């Protein structure tokens, strides 16, 4: 599939980009609902390059802050939102501060 095919078929293609600019979990829910049924997570990740671009927002079924994953939809059950991932080093001081204050309301 070419990049053009992906862009033309992605379920987010005609939606307001503001939906995907959120990294606070409560504001990210509408975009995650779109990602939940999307089959283009790999293509989205390749296009946005969230880690390399220090992206803030939703891409490829994940919530990103400064290019680090704060939360992601589960591969086993896209209705489950996983906060962090033990397999990746996601918990530096800045990420923990954002998760604790802005995302979780603590």
Q: How many CB atoms lie within 10 A of CB 58?
A: 28
Flag whether 27 is in a domain.
Answer: yes
pLDDT tens by residue, 29-79: 999 999 998 999 999 999 999 999 999 999 999 999 999 999 999 888 878
Instruction: Say how many domains are in the chain.
Output: 1
Reported as half-sphere exposure (CB side, CA atoms, 13 A), residue 71 has a value of 26
Domain that holds residue 36: 19-103
DSSP, collapsed to helix, strand or coil, labels residue 18 as helix
Beta bridge pairs of residue 69: 64
If residue 6 lies in a helix (H) or strand (E), which one and from where to where?
Answer: helix 3-9
In a domain, 9, yes or no: no
Q: Is residue 33 part of a domain?
A: yes
Average pLDDT, the chain: 80
The mean pLDDT of 15-27, rounded to a whole number, is 92
Let me know if residue 13 belongs to a domain: no
Q: What is the pTM of this model?
A: 0.74
| Residue 26 forms part of a structural domain | yes
């Amino acid at each position: 599939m070419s990049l053009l095919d992906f862009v033309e078929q992605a379920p987010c293609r005609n939606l307001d980009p503001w939906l995907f600019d959120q990294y606070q979990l409560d504001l990210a829910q509408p975009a995650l609902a779109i990602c939940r049924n999307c089959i283009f997570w790999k293509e989205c990740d390749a296009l946005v390059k969230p880690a390399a671009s220090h992206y803030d927002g939703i891409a490829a079924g994940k919530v990103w802050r400064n290019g680090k994953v704060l939360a992601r939809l589960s591969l086993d059950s896209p209705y489950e939102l996983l906060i962090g991932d033990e397999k990746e080093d996601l918990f530096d001081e800045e990420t923990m501060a954002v998760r604790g204050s802005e995302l979780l309301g603590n």
